[in-house]
Structure 1
Amino acid sequence: MEDFFSMDDLYDEYDTVILGGGPAGLTAAIYASRDMMKTLVLEKNFPGGQVALTEQVDNYPGFPEGIMGGDLSMKMYEHAKAFNVQVKNAIPKEFNFDGKYKYIHLENEDITIKTKTIIIATGAKPKHLEVEGENRFLGRGISFCATCDGAFFKDKDVAVIGGGDSAVEEGVYLTKFAKKVYIVHRRDKLRAAKILQERAFQNDKVEFIYNCVVDKVNGENKLESLTLYDRVKNEKKDLKVDGVFVFIGWAA
């Protein structure tokens, strides 16, 4: 993937530049390139987007045994490359839409890209808890990516916030490292797919806390606990954990 990080082979002009290298962006790039369009994809993190952060993908057609998220991302990346799509690690800083051509100025690079069209496929970013103490511990105990940060919590207690597919799947994944995984959900039933629920129910390291939301994140020099509000009992209680993984949805 050396060329992903190199800007040495950029063209003077493109037919289309796609912002975002997730499944949507790479698919658009393949279609554009097959139509003989000179195509560039700009991705700020790594090819595949959120898929790359998923441990196991079981519901993508063509892989009856499932496939690792990182492996699926690389296949998408290689597929695009096979059609001469350029995929680059870069962050746009400024845009100029005046005139026939569009110009994209890149962050941390003295490079301006000229293109006829731009396709926006930037996906979404994870929603935050928006509670007291959260900002203080972002990246210091609070994470939005179990695949990225799970190994930092070996033999520790962690909380996963959410009750959907991502929360339950990543909660089970975290049991590879953590001593205990609490899945905190605001309702009395999970929303995750039944097959994911069954995996979690059968894992002795997973404990569910229902009808609760996070009221506050506590700690001095490190994250030490969560204050949970029980929506049914109308009372608060503290949960001692070393880390928190938040999976409560995405915002565009």
Structure 2
Amino acid sequence: MANKKYDVIVIGAGPGGMTAALYASRANLSVLMLDRGVYGGQMNNTAEVENYPGFKSILGPDLAKEMYDSSTQFGAEYAYGTVTGVTVQADGTKLVTTEDDTFETKALIIATGSEHRKLGVPGEEEYGGRGVSYCAVCDGAFFRNKDVAVVGGGDSAIEEGTYLAQIVDSVNVFHRRDQLRAQKILQDRAFANEKMHFTWDTVVTEIVGDGQKVTGVKTHNKKTGEDREVPVAAVFIYVGILPITEPFKDLGITDEEGWIVTDDQMKTKIPGIFAVGDVRKKNLRQITTAVGDGGIAGQQAFNYIEETK
């Protein structure tokens, strides 16, 4: 069976990928968006978005739906698919292989984003989905009126902790440093919330449970050396992110940590392959920056196809 051909394939349907699809399809190119899950990416795990222009506040899933409707209005197709590899043929054609199909494209835009880093402590895998979570919006309601832990001190940890405080009895934030890294506005809200408590200079060394569900965390204070076991019903973990780039490791476009390296036009070192959003090596990973990346990449994909005709 012949491979289905497109002018542009976008791998990933988060804000960057959807914007790239919008720009490329509006330029009258045939476009396919492939994603291993529902469109929207991490917006679907965000309770409230307050820093996207045009909306004073909007729920993450609602913003995802608005973007999807916009991105497909000029004919871009959307399909489920887990990409397993990409190869570049001698004529520059890119072959995108999924678990079920192979597609051909002239230009490829990688928008696979990132995923939460694991703590790597005993109990984390065992109690996954049974009290260990990386998404407060997804799982917070299961722990209504209970005590929970949040691990981390960046924007995600504090935003999600503040969200949890609306549902649970208390949120104990464990942070390995003596101050937060989150934006000041987020810190101010958290410190003003009587349900949020902070344990500094402390790492979680184990997640404990009764065989069925989480019952607590074991912690170690790096300054005092004190070890404790703190009873909680759930642990929400936000200790960084890792790029989702395994399918592209053989292309030679990633750095030693796995982030895709591009120039300011979203070009990788392979002609016709672009990358946008959280998968790129960059300093600020936000919906707004992903959208900006996507607009540039969609236009650059059009330019590349015109130049190689």
Partner of 1:92: 83
What's the offset of the Cα at 1:23? 1.2
Matched, 1:250 2:241: yes
Q: Which has the higher contact order (CA 8 A, sep 6+)?
A: 2
TM-score normalised by length of structure 1: 0.88
The answer for the alignment partner of 1:179 in structure 2 is 169
User: What CA distance in whole angstroms lies between the structure 1 residues aligned with 2:79 and 2:137?
Assistant: 23
Instruction: Quote the residue 2:186 is aligned against.
Output: 196
Cα distance per residue 1:129-149 (max 9 Å; x no partner) = 011222211222111111111
Q: Does 1:24 align with 2:7?
A: no
Question: Aligned-residue CA RMSD in angstroms?
Answer: 1.8
Q: For residues 38-65 of structure 1, what are the alpha-carbon distances to aligned partners after superposition, in whole Å with 9 as ceiling and x for unaligned? A: 11111112212112211111111222x2
Q: Is residue 83–residue 98 contact of structure 2 (8 Å, CA) maintained in 1? A: yes
Q: How many residues align?
A: 239
User: Which residue does 1:238 correspond to in 2?
Assistant: 229
Structure 2 CA distance, aligned partners of 1:12 and 1:92? 15
The aligned residue for residue 141 of structure 1 is 131
CA drift at 1:202: 2.3
Select 2:144's aligned residue among 154, 158, 169: 154
Contact 2:4 2:102 (8 Å CA) reproduced? no
Structure 1 equivalent of residue 57 of structure 2: 66
| Alignment partners' CA distance in 2, 1:26 and 1:228 | 41
In the alignment, does 2:201 pair up with 1:211? yes
Select the residue among 41, 52, 68 that pairs with 2:44. Answer: 52
Q: Please, which moves more after superposition, 111-120 or 33-42?
A: 111-120
Q: CA deviation at 1:34?
A: 2.1
Which deviates more, 11-20 or 159-168?
Answer: 11-20
Richer in strand (by share): 1
- The answer for unaligned runs of 5 or more in structure 2 is 244-309
Q: 2:119 aligns to what SS in structure 1?
A: coil
CA contact (8 A) 2:86 2:96 kept: yes
| Alpha-carbon distance in 2 for matches of 1:104, 1:198 | 46
Distance 2:132 2:194 in 1: 23
Q: How many angstroms apart in 1 are the aligned matches of 2:178 and 2:108?
A: 44
SS in structure 2 of the partner of residue 224 of structure 1: strand
Structure 2 Cα separation of the partners of residues 173 and 86 of structure 1: 34
Displacement of 1:152 in angstroms is: 1.2
Cα-to-partner distance string for 1:6-48 (whole Å, 9 max, x where unaligned): xxxxx93201111111111112112211222111111112212
> Could you tell me how far apart the structure 1 residues matched to 2:76 and 2:134 are?
30
Match of 2:73 in 1: 82
The verdict on how the C-alpha distance between 1:193 and 1:94 changes in structure 2, with shifts beyond 3 A counting, is closer
SS at match of 1:178: coil
1:55 is paired with a residue whose SS is: coil
TM-score for the superposition, normalised by structure 2: 0.73
Contact 2:7-2:31 at 8 Å conserved across structures? yes
Give per-residue Cα distances to partners, 1:97-123, cap 9 Å, x unaligned: 44543333433x4x3323223221111
SS at match of 2:189: helix
- 1:46-96 CA deviation, whole Å, 9 max, x = no partner? 212112211111111222x22211111111111101122112222123445
Q: State the partner residue of 1:166.
A: 156
> What runs of 5+ residues in structure 1 fail to find an aligned partner?
1-10
What is the distance in 1 between the residues matched to 2:46 and 2:89?
40
- Amino acid in the other structure paired with 1:85: A
CA contact (8 A) 2:45 2:138 kept: yes
Cα distance change on mapping 1:211 and 1:30 into 2, 3 Å: same
